[in-house]
Chain A
Amino acid sequence: MGGLRKRDWWMAFLFVLPVVVILLAISIFPMVYSFYLSLCRWDIGMGGQRTFIGAGNYLRLFSDARFFNSLKNTGRVLLFGVGTQFALGLSLALLLNRSFRGRSLVVTLFLLPMMISPVVVGCIWKIIYHYQYGPLNYLLNLLGIRSVNWLGSGSISPYSIVLADIWEWTPFMVITLLAGLQAIPDDLYEAARVDGANRWQIFSGVVFPLLRPVVIIAILIRVMDAFKIFDLVVLLTMGGPGQASESVAFYNYLTGFKYFSMGYASAMSYVQLAVIVAIANVFLRSFKGRAVV
């Protein structure tokens, strides 16, 4: 639209000003403050004083077995959760990538688990997982399998969270990958078929390379979300039994708002922020490439 005239510049500036002011007030200033806190010991529950301890909180993280356990649980959601969501989501997207009557209704129905609040997802699965009265153990018993202690066993409860997460978020992969598939022009399939390619060759040689940017975006978004997993942990297990199924965000929440160690909690949240910033950078870079449909 040509160069900016002076009056236009003022308007452009005034238009972004409120957003900048609000974002600075509720994100940048608090973040700077919490960085300072992460260098302090401050246990507000005890009415304790704030004392500057430098990198002490960060060093403490490295020897905190409970923190590493929560990292492991979060990693499990990333690896098994997002991995399964991608595999299932891609298969389902390929199945749905054809025209049939009632298709848009079917797609909408598939999306429901992702649209409702994670809190509701937690409620639904808490009932399903109930050891004595839940329908899942009942079905297993019908098949001759002994009841599984889904939420009460430390070796199983982290996987129960992963399973509920898979149910909730597979739809995201379905709808995103489906959009990617539909952006691939039909004549490319035709051309490949005329050249004598079989189904697998069409998929690996034509479809997947074209789908790749969408796959990367979808996985990055899910990884960022899964890294923040909190709601399902609260609703399903409260991190239990013991500390077996705590996620990083959940342990961070306990540190800040149950034990009131504000300094240590700030340090923990800064570590997560660093991880997210790293992933977000990759995401934004693929955005700038504009390679996406």
Chain B
Amino acid sequence: MRRRDGVTVAVFVGIFVLLAVALAPFAWNVLTSFKEKGEYFTYPPVFVPSSFDLEHYVRGLHLGGAKGIKDSFIIASLTTLLAIALGSLAAYSLSRFRIGGDNFAFWILSVRMMPPIASVLPLFLFFRFLRWLDTYQALIFTYALVNIPFAVWMMKGFFDELPVELEEAALIDGCGRLGAFVRVALPLVAPGLVATALFCFMFSWNEFLFALILGRSRVVPITVNIAGLIGGHEILWAEISAVSIVASVPIIVLAILLQRYLVRGLTLGAVKG
């Protein structure tokens, strides 16, 4: 068994080294968020900052970080609600009645794959015409373009896995079609519904291109706020790091909650995981 032990040790050393490489940039970001200006503009670099107070976090939140988080939260929650509500209805229809057939389902999915730069240009002109630029609703509907197809497709997968016999039993018991959907099918796919919602929230929270073009001064999602800080005259690295960490924490929590469904969500349901 000696050779096997050697292989096992090598495997764990390999995993450990790669893990260190994967996490080091995060560690540097966290350290930077506590550094004073003299500590990040210096050579050789200072590794451990002199103090660990939250001064830069407070200042970063004042420099638009708090507003960015509020805007991102409003936009991401509302677009998620919209996508989930409409998406699960359509998904049920596709799954149980096969309405429109396979091609219709694939058309919906294909909307999800459009390059954002291709759709943002006509949307920009469209929202300019409606005087919707720099409003929440412009971004909420734009993200629906990505989230609705995603929600339809994910929820269709979850409904497909549900045995129809349960709903048939409900129908025989005198429940209407709508009742079978609301009282039987929907509660049973609740975990899938939550997972899909969290994914939609995550996509919208992290998105940058649409936010950059359709927001401006009244609506500045967190990603645009961070990019703006980087483009500023004087680059406040500690504040930028601090805001980027605050923006990432909710997403990391969601990712951990979603672990079971992660592969499925990220491959649009193609790999069930």
Contact = CB atoms under 8 A, between A and B. Distances in A.
Contact of B115 (A23, A37, A272, A287): A272
A159 interface: no
Interface residues of B, number: 95
Interface residues of A, number: 97
A155 interface: no
Interface in A7-50: 7-9, 11-13, 15-16, 18-20, 22-23, 26-27, 29-31, 33-34, 37
B54 interface: no
Contacts of B12: 100
A95 B11 contact: yes
B1 interface: no
Interface in A196-212: none
Given A16-B89, A116-B252, A124-B25, A231 B177 contact: no
Nearest to A15: B93
B90 to A, nearest CB: 4
Interface in A101-138: 104, 106-113, 115-120, 122-128, 132-135, 138
Contacts of B96: 1, 12
Given A119-B226, A176-B263, A230-B209, A26 B255 contact: no
A292 B255 contact: no
Contact of A1 (B89, B168, B209, B267): B168
A235 interface: yes
Interface in B240-268: 240-241, 244, 247-248, 251-252, 254-256, 259, 262-263, 266-268
Contact of A16 (B15, B22, B100, B227): B100
Contacts of A167: 22, 25
B117 A269 contact: yes
Nearest to A141: B44
Contact of A33 (B23, B41, B125, B262): B125
A71 B144 CA distance: 29
A120 B115 contact: no
Contacts of B102: 288
B90 A175 contact: no
A117 B205 contact: yes
B99 A12 contact: yes
17 contacts: A19-B90, A19-B108, A22-B86, A22-B141, A26-B145, A115-B255, A116-B206, A119-B208, A124-B25, A133-B41, A217-B267, A253-B213, A270-B118, A280-B113, A283-B113, A286-B270, A288-B106
Given A31-B122, A228-B117, 6 more contacts: A123-B241, A124-B29, A253-B209, A266-B122, A276-B118, A292-B270
Interface of A: 1, 4, 7-9, 11-13, 15-16, 18-20, 22-23, 26-27, 29-31, 33-34, 37, 92, 95-96, 98, 100, 104, 106-113, 115-120, 122-128, 132-135, 138, 167, 170-172, 175-176, 179-180, 214, 217-218, 221, 224, 227-228, 230-231, 234-235, 238, 249, 252-253, 256-257, 262, 265-266, 269-270, 272-273, 276-277, 280, 283-284, 286-288, 292-293
